[in-house]
Amino acid sequence: MDFIRINKLCGKPKNKALVVFDGYKDLSGQKGGYSDIEVVFSRKETADERIKRMVDTASQPKNLVVISDDRDIAFFARQAGAHPMSVEEFFYRLPQVRRLKATREKKSKRQKEEPDPKISYSLMHKINKELSQIWLKEG
């Protein structure tokens, strides 16, 4: 939950985050809650069933963003009028993740542009020497 708060993943201060886990709440490691982040445990139903029910009963599903890599959840959210988003898309919104991805893309592009010699230096030298001799004889 600290990660969500520190990185301001809710966006505007008025936005709320709801994190749904399977199972029951573990009271042993309980920390104080945040006003803009709510944690829900699905209890006897699965987290997927709980998410679907919450989306289905929302008064304005168009204002919901459902973050999940589960295709069934994404499809359900979209059909209900909510906005599904993959975990990767969601985290890509973080400035540090965008910078990291841009750096990796630049590095990958540079590696593609640099020639990748398939022959050894000694063989290349030998070929160049032979080509020089042929060129100089014909010139």
The pLDDT tens digits for 51-91 are 999 999 999 999 898 989 999 999 999 999 999 988 888 87
Band the pLDDT of 28: cuts 50, 70, 90.
very low
Residues facing 18 on adjacent strands: 38
The reply to whether 21 and 87 lie within a common domain is: yes
For position 77, what pLDDT does the model report? 94
What average pLDDT is seen over the chain?
Answer: 78
55 and 82 in contact (C-beta within 8 Å)? yes
Band the pLDDT of 25: cuts 50, 70, 90.
confident
The reply to whether 66 and 104 lie within a common domain is: no
pTM as predicted? 0.58
- Total structural domains within the chain: 2
Residue type, 102: A
Residue 139 has pLDDT above 70, yes or no: no
The reply to whether 52 and 87 lie within a common domain is: yes
The reply to whether 116 and 81 lie within a common domain is: no
For position 114, what pLDDT does the model report? 60
For position 41, what pLDDT does the model report? 87
The reply to whether 39 and 57 lie within a common domain is: yes
Alpha-carbon distance of 139 to 112, in angstroms, equals 36
Residue 30 has pLDDT above 70, yes or no: no
The reply to whether 37 and 53 lie within a common domain is: yes
The reply to whether 41 and 10 lie within a common domain is: yes
Alpha-carbon distance of 106 to 96, in angstroms, equals 15
For residue 41, the enclosing domain spans 2-92
